Amino acid sequence: MQELVTVEQADKVIAYLAIVLPAIGLLAGAAVGAARRAALRGLLVGLVCGLVGPAIWLLWRMYNEIVGIYGLDSVRGLLVNLALFAGIGVIVGLAIGLARRRFRAGSGQTASNTHE
């Protein structure tokens, strides 16, 4: 039985996204920033959003290494992946929350008047 998507195909697509998404993020950020008259902030936000591509590539590589060491059907490998991805999720969530608070503080807004 042949696989629908091979690991090599997934590697190629993820590597392509890691290269293309930062450029797309910069272009979209520049366009949105120019429309809002905040070009530098738009570029920065676009770049950060575009860095999702290389982050996905890095996470894919880490996942494959863990599976390569422990095997695909190993409970230990599953727990290592769970701990790693949950930890990364918590760190990214905290970083996004901190960045949002700093941007809000820099613009003079507070959480009470942003209607969130």
What span, in angstroms and rounded, lies between the C-alpha atoms of 87 and 83?
6
- Quote the pLDDT of residue 81: 94
Cβ–Cβ contacts within 10 Å for residue 43, how many? 19
Q: pLDDT tens across 97-114, in order?
A: 998 898 787 666 555 555
Whole-number average pLDDT of the chain: 88
Q: pLDDT tens across 33-60, in order?
A: 989 888 888 888 899 889 999 999 999 9
Question: In the structure encoding, which two tokens stand for residue 3, read together?
Answer: 């696989």
Beta carbons within 8 Å of 19's beta carbon, 6+ residues apart: 53
- Quote the pLDDT of residue 53: 93
Which residue would you say has higher pLDDT here, 7 or 15? 15
